[in-house]
Amino acid sequence: MAITISIPGASGYGLTDGTSDNEAASDVLYAAHLIAMNFPGNTPALAKHMGVSANTLKHKLNPNNETHHLTLREAVLMQRAAGSAGVLHAMARSLGYTCVPGSPDQWEGDPVEVTAHLQYCLGDFFKSFA
């Protein structure tokens, strides 16, 4: 059994990577744009699924548009609708963090239980190296 782990430079260790605020914002907008482009039926279908205007969403996802901006609520709604957390990962990466899904979902559950489950899974993962 072979396992490959790739850690991109110092940022993989939680250190800042020197990304400017403008670059971070561009990455987040690009991630949002990719979510819409990869959604079956692209932006119009995603907008319909979200219950928003397709034309407005298209403008909000255009990085060259200065008048329309995607709100945080819309970004969450878009990621839920598409089943993709690309914007979340881009935000985390720009701040020097990584995100892992909390499985099972513990949104209204016990945080101690989800932490214990995470440790259990990490134990199995690292045991595979031994």
pLDDT at position 106 over 50: yes
pLDDT value of residue 65:
87
CB 43 within 8 A of CB 54: yes
Contact residues for 31 (Cβ-Cβ < 8 A; gap 6+): 86, 87, 89, 90
pTM of the model: 0.62
The string of pLDDT tens digits covering residues 31-84 is: 999 999 999 999 999 999 999 999 999 999 988 888 989 999 999 999 999 999
pLDDT value of residue 47:
93
Length of the chain in terms of residues written: 130
The string of pLDDT tens digits covering residues 1-41 is: 455 554 454 444 343 444 455 555 568 889 999 999 999 99
Residue 47: HSE in the Cβ half-sphere, 13 Å Cα cutoff: 16
